[in-house]
Amino acid sequence: MRAAQVGKLDGPSAIEIVDLPEPVAYPGGVLIDVHAAGIAFPDVLMTRGLYQMKPGLPFVVGGEVAGVVREAPEGSSLRPGDRVAALTMLGNGVAEVAVSPEHAVFALPDNISLEAGAGVLFNDLTVHFCLTQRGRLAEGETVLVHGAAGGVGTSTLRMAKALGAGRVIAVVSTESKAQVAKANGATDVVLAEGWLAAVKELTEGRGVDIVLDPVGGDRFTDSVRSLAGGGRLLVVGFTAGEIPTVKVNRLLLKNVEVVGAAWGEWVMSHPTYLAEQWAEIAPLLASGAIAAPDPVLYPLDKTAEAVAALDNRTATGKVVVRLR
């Protein structure tokens, strides 16, 4: 089979397309003919050895796939030929054949294409976890998302209203990204330059209930300032590179919270959580209450470029590599 392999920790440019033996299903594993594989920011970090989990070299990049079941464990509810989305966990995703543990394989609704399905799990499950489990989103609250034209950002825009938000404000860096945010369901869009003043005006000085921040960097302090009383700032990641700090007196004075939201860590310590999430999200996808992602597609031979698009922050929406 063909696969996108990292042989040295030199960043996305080190990804090479190689021929490898097909994997064999391990006990409890589902063998999948992969049609498309999602790319996420941890993939960028892993190409440099900077992610908290470090697969040994060489490794196949990518951790989420969509395809067709070739082989399932005896007694499984899955059958050969089923269309599925799956997490391959640490790497092994951008390959023509992959194996996933059965608990991380989910039947796709009929209205979700395999290309879109490859863009559902990492981002949508992350956002669901952030808004419901960590953010305690209440009906009608206002959500603001940074990096709103990126993968997590567009997922937030697609999902927040279905999960109860009354208003969703997108923060983007350019006018072209503003169009992406609007197309994905933003109620309001503001540019990063002067965003805090714009948000205060939009909310008539009240502020927002939840900030979902996958960016970090120098926006962090203003994100705290943007919160209404009782608001929550969800720390999802640091695509800007800089890990910010907070003066806790700001939290005290406004009765606000800074909340860590590491979906992967939660999943590892709560074994049934993935199934619980999918049981909530799948019907919303099937009904159209949550729109399917509209991924940016790359061919397998361009996997290095796909990962680099997240590295240099030129990507808009979910990045997906098509294998079939």
Domain end point (choices 222, 243, 264): 264
Distances (CA, A) of 112 to 119, 189, 290: 10, 27, 11
DSSP secondary-structure letter at 294?
Answer: -
Residue 313 neighbours by CB distance under 10 Å: 16
Kindly state whether residues 136 and 256 are assigned to the same domain: yes
Provide the CATH number for the domain around residue 26.
Answer: 3.90.180.10
Residue 269 in any domain: the answer is no
Same domain, residue pair 69 and 131: no
Q: What is the pLDDT of residues 203-216, one digit of tens each?
A: 999 999 999 998 87
Judgement on whether residues 188 and 227 belong to the same structural domain of the protein: yes
The number of residues making up the chain comes to 324
Say yes or no: 164 and 185 in one domain.
yes
Residue of 136, 73, 81, 66 whose CA lies nearest to 101: 73
In this structure, are 179 and 77 located in the same domain?
A: no
**Span 191-237, pLDDT tens digits:** 999 999 999 999 999 999 999 998 877 888 999 999 999 999 999 97
- The answer as to whether 279 is a domain residue is no
Residues 250 and 171 in one domain: yes
Is 121's pLDDT higher than 90?
yes
Q: How many domains does the chain contain in total?
A: 2
Local confidence band at 238 (pLDDT 50, 70, 90 cut-offs)? confident
Determine the Cα–Cα distance for residues 155 and 149; give it in Å rounded to an integer: 9
Q: What's the pLDDT tens digit per position in 292-313?
A: 999 999 999 999 999 999 998 8
Q: What is the pLDDT of residue 261?
A: 94
Indicate whether 241 pLDDT > 70.
no
Q: What is the pTM of this model?
A: 0.93
Q: Using the predicted structure, report yes or no on whether residue 2 has a pLDDT greater than 90.
A: yes
Across the range 32-51, mean pLDDT stands at: 95
Domain that holds residue 72: 2-119+293-322
Task: Specify whether 185 is located in the same domain as 255.
Answer: yes
Residues 141 and 162 in one domain: yes
